[in-house]
Structure 1
Amino acid sequence: MDLLRFATAGSVDDGKSTLIGRLLFDSKTIFEDQLEAVELASKSRGNEYTDLSLLTDGLRAEREQGITIDVAYRYFATPRRKFIIADTPGHQQYTRNMVTGASTADLAIILVDARKGMTEQSRRHATIASLLRVPHVVLAVNKMDLVDWSEERFNEIYEEFSLFSSKLDIPDLTAIPLSALEGDNVVERSENMPWYGGSSLLYHLEHVHIASDKNLQDVRFPVQFVIRPQQSNARDYRGFAGQVASGILKVGDEVLALPSGLTTKVAAIDGPSGPLDEAFPAMSVTVRLEDEIDISRGDIICRVGNHPEPTQDVEAMVCWMDQDALTVGRKLGIFHTSRMARAMVKDIPYELNVNTLHRDSEINQLNLNSIGRVKLRVTTPLLVDDYDHNRTTGSFILIDEATNRTVGAGVIRDS
């Protein structure tokens, strides 16, 4: 049974948490004690109905304000597929948390209130989903019950979103009209919208094809840890632990270790349950090599003739997440795969306007929640790929060295 990771996004009060609560409730994946707790909390707040959004809004501040602040992760399964949901905040102040939730997603659900239509935050989230190369996007037009299930209104929003997304890199877009509060088109097809000929949201999530989204050609294995057990029965054991970022790694393959440039062969692959013949994304394994070559945390094992290029000059699209602006000359920590280095901002060529997608080259800094092109000079060469080919080796985070806060996230792209 395969696994689908998906993230929800949208403006404040578009119904993201309610949608996930309805999805869990109608698919019968909520325990009785959880439902009782939510019913009790709903009554204590004076609600006339069971507020299913409380299933994901776990922080006290979230429940008091009725908004999502942190990224809430939920897990459930159907007979066809397993799911990990990232319920991300809609408030502009917490856009950085949306980036966190969508960074590993196979699919993004962007909710739009049928009454309000597209908002600036809807466009921002669509832009972020495109920058993060989320392969599949669902436009969920919510609260259709409040516009009398209007087909005309749904088509207006779909056309507006399609026009905007045509300027982005969204390879697969599906639009679904629904009511998270009433449950229409969430798990079961709605009788209130006979004009809609598509599937319910859950059916789409169960059947969307994600196998071809993975890069199985370019072997990339960033080393996270060197395992040397000090035990009498494994004195000569030396393995390199990590998660396969892309490609298929097999026993007997000739591989190249970077940045040393030394070659050897894969002697064995150890998984959590024992030896394996091969490993593929996103398996966490330990790789043993035939030769004793120098490899440490931050190095990458790849194929001979197919490897990332080391560089100290990195140019990327960056989403800035800190109150203090990003300025030219600022020094930061950069974390790429499992390698940590220091970086200095050389230039900020432009900022991307999320409403018009216009590139503003007159700016000299990036403010909170801004997205722009940034050139960095790194102290230690990084082994990078274009993000479109590899989401792991093509991305990084920026860290404020004084406070250790994550202040930015970047994706390496040619343009």
Structure 2
Amino acid sequence: MRCAKVNFWTRTSGLRCHRSGPAGMTFDALLDEVGAFGPFQVLLVVLMASSRLVLPCNLLLNNFIGAVPPHRCKVARWNATTASAVPLGDDGLPQACGTFVRPPSLVAGNQSEATPTVPCLHGWIYDNSTFSSTIATEWDLVCERKHLPQTINIIFFLGLMLGSLLFGLLSDKWVPESARWLCANAQVEKAHLYLNKCARANKRPELASKDIVEALSSAGKSKKSKKYTFLHLFKTPKLRKISLVSGIAWYGTAVTYYGISLNLSGFGLSVYLTHFVYAAVEVPARLLIYFLINRIGRRPCLVGTLVLTATCIGVNIFVPEDVWQLRSAVAILGKGLSEASATTIILYTHELYPTVLRQTGLGFTSVLSRVGVSVAPLVLFLEDVWSVLPQVVLCVGAFFCGLLAMLLPETLDLKLPETVQDVETPACSKGQEDVPLETKNTT
């Protein structure tokens, strides 16, 4: 009986040799044989990234097609006499949603304070210097109907949530599962097929026998009959805590990110420039996270970015609107930090759930994030109650989610969990991430 070649193993000890293949081989070691990151994986990344190039255009399109430009009541005959028919606001500009019953100049004593006002009777005049036409100007979605543009946003995001649920279920029938998932679920034939496909694309030798892949199905025949559902996310203590905390964190991160992204006014800049800067700051934010996440860990990055986002939102509550330079700088920093938190939680969540429930867990957190996205426009409605209430809600929510994320386990330098047992009783520690659980104590 011959043992497996040494290059099949990485940082393992006490491993047994079998005639049919290395029974204690880890999937990561096997993946190294077929190419852990080669042309095959690069192609997958490019295909998945291509959809991300157009997706943000749809998600934030309502910032432009639903914009509400400055407006005032239309007066039937506008001249020097009737010009005073529209009352002025505190800023000296015509009010947007009211007109005098009669111009004050036609009232005895010109007592404008005593002149009653009524809603606009003949429609509105819009400032077309920034937007030539929007849904607000086309259908007069202003004043009593000013919430309708954001309502359209809510309907769009609800459709996005339902679509992700529906097509997520359908994609299970169309898209091949990963070889790691197939191995964890004892589907050896498919895993062998996909690993050899990966090896050919990466110009690496194919696996001659499926016995090597079969060795990874450590649970034996019993695993074949094991079916996991959504309920398994809450059946065990540690996985239940991960599901609840990560779900709330995804919800809070989505509300904060889109609450900032959908609020482009009040910074002294044009909508187009504000949107461009908001988008541009995401590039260095993501690069910084990719640098920090492997040095200080996933949990500190998530906690830190959420708390700092809350701090930026809180600071802008107290900065006067006429100090627009400072407000813009703080808002841009907060937008970058909110993007950093979103990037972190996506990477982090993949490592929290075991392989047998990873897609289920990601689906659960994704749905909660879609709920958060749908709620974000509703938060902006709160400005009718108090002008800074939306910022207060976003600030408190981001801060709470940041503190809550401290309950999640750190995953830096740890082996990806394969089973629920790996999450509940982790046997691998830092520096031993490739040691198979079933052979850790063998000699």
TM-score when scaled to structure 1?
Answer: 0.21
Higher normalized helix content (fraction of residues): 2
Larger Rg: 2
TM-score when scaled to structure 2?
Answer: 0.20
